[in-house]
């Protein structure tokens, strides 16, 4: 685990990185969730794993509030947390007047919410950037009610798959012809790489690495699902360069439960 001093510097760098991207984040492919097949695919992935609404959901690292939009559309009561004021400002604007939604400026690794206060914790693209994953998972376990669900969407962003390497060459060729996409993550890639190399999962986040940590935190009934239906839905409306981007990295969906409380002896 990283030392506290190094950790706080790293967190500030991470927060600053995302804050600078907040106003254009929704313009980068893969972040905004357009209405239509992609929205439906994400919603189905959540509905399948969280069960019927409404549930009390803590959404960690809500960013610009795209997953928030999905959770609200499914009827959940949402606390949407992020540690970047700039990201939260975009999300607040997007969801002005929404019912059943509360925003929280806090650290997802230490949200300081009461014990056993949520039915579900949901996050997309947060786990890879945790600075102290073991501690964060224990916190998340504490916040869930017995029987509650942790659901996250993430991927191994450290190295493209074999097919991804081919796709990446094709994307580079398109960039040379039409110009690079200024909003895609690569636009700040030196800073991104500088942060990645200091993260516990900076050399790659896989389900195989994360499952034992979740188990050690107390989670059970873990299941790893495929991101393929969402990627297929993205390809239905994306242009060629973005279709290729859906092939770059290995992504996964992970669900885990806090075990239900044991029945009281009769
Ligand atoms: C890749 S973006 C994902 C945003 C959103 N989950 C989505 O999928 O659209 C990462 C977000 O995580 C937030 N973040 C990263 N580390 C965090 C932490 N320790 N606590 C709270 N937010 C964090 C950043 O501020 C940023 O908004």
Q: Are 62 and 82 in contact (CB under 8 A)?
A: yes
Whether residue 54 has a cis bond before it, omega within 30° of 0: yes
Name the residue at shortest CA distance from atom 12 of ligand 1: 61
**262 in any annotated domain:** no
Least confident of 155-159, 182-186, 230-234, 246-250: 182-186
Task: Report the chain's mean pLDDT, rounded to a whole number.
Answer: 93
Q: Is the CB of 67 under 6 A from ligand 1?
A: yes
**25 in any annotated domain:** yes
pLDDT tops 70 at residue 4: no
The number of domains in the chain is 1
Long-range contact set of residues 261-265: C-beta below 8 Å, sequence gap at least 24: 261/146, 261/147
What is residue 104's predicted lDDT score, i.e. its pLDDT?
A: 98
Average pLDDT over every residue of 19-33:
90
What is residue 3's predicted lDDT score, i.e. its pLDDT?
A: 46
What is residue 146's predicted lDDT score, i.e. its pLDDT?
A: 97
pTM exceeding the 0.85 threshold for the entire prediction: yes
Closest atom of ligand 1 to CA, residue 153: 8
* CATH number assigned to the domain comprising residue 90: 3.40.50.150
**265 in any annotated domain:** no
Q: Predicted confidence band at 265 (pLDDT cuts at 50, 70, 90)? A: confident
Tell me the CA–centroid distance for residue 80 and ligand 1, in Å.
11
Q: Is the CB of 103 under 6 A from ligand 1?
A: no
Q: Is the CB of 87 under 6 A from ligand 1?
A: yes
Tell me the CA–centroid distance for residue 261 and ligand 1, in Å.
31
What is residue 180's predicted lDDT score, i.e. its pLDDT?
A: 87
Q: Is the CB of 127 under 6 A from ligand 1?
A: no
Q: Predicted confidence band at 1 (pLDDT cuts at 50, 70, 90)? A: very low
Closest atom of ligand 1 to CA, residue 109: 19
**209 in any annotated domain:** yes
**126 in any annotated domain:** yes
- For ligand 1, pick from 31, 57, 63 the residue to mutate: most ligand atoms within 8 Å of CB: 63
**161 in any annotated domain:** yes
Q: Are 80 and 91 in contact (CB under 8 A)?
A: yes
Closest atom of ligand 1 to CA, residue 107: 20
Short-list 39, 72, 43, CA closest to 55:
72
pLDDT tops 80 at residue 184: no
pLDDT tops 80 at residue 173: yes
The residue segments making up the domain with residue 62 are 4-257
Average pLDDT over every residue of 190-209:
92
Average pLDDT over every residue of 64-69:
98
pLDDT tops 50 at residue 140: yes
**181 in any annotated domain:** yes
Residue 107 CA, chain-centre distance (Å), reads: 14
User: What SS3 class is residue 129?
Assistant: helix
**Which secondary-structure segment (H or E) carries 250?**
strand 250-257
**113 in any annotated domain:** yes
């Amino acid at each position: 685990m990283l030392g506290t001093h190094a950790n706080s510097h790293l967190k500030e760098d991470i927060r600053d990185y995302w804050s600078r991207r907040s106003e254009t984040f929704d313009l980068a492919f893969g972040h905004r969730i357009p209405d239509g097949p992609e929205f439906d695919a994400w919603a189905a992935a959540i509905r399948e794993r969280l069960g019927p609404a409404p549930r009390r959901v803590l959404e960690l690292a809500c960013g610009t509030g795209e997953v928030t939009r999905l959770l609200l559309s499914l009827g959940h009561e949402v606390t949407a947390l992020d540690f970047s004021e700039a990201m939260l400002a975009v999300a607040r604007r997007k969801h002005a007047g929404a019912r059943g939604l509360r925003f929280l400026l806090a650290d997802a690794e230490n949200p300081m919410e009461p014990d056993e206060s949520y039915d579900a914790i949901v996050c997309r693209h947060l786990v890879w950037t945790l600075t102290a994953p073991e501690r964060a998972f224990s916190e998340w376990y504490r916040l869930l009610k017995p029987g509650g669900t942790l659901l996250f969407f993430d991927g191994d962003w450290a190295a493209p798959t074999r097919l991804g390497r081919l796709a990446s060459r094709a994307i580079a060729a398109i960039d040379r012809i039409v110009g690079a996409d200024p909003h895609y993550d690569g636009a700040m890639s030196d800073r991104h790489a500088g942060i990645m190399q200091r993260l516990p999962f900076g050399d790659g986040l896989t389900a195989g690495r994360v499952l034992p940590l979740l188990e050690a935190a107390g989670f059970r009934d873990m299941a790893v699902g495929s991101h393929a239906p969402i990627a297929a839905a993205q390809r239905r409306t994306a242009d060629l360069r973005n279709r290729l981007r859906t092939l770059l990295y290995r992504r996964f969906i992970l669900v885990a439960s806090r075990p239900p409380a044991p029945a009281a002896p009769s």
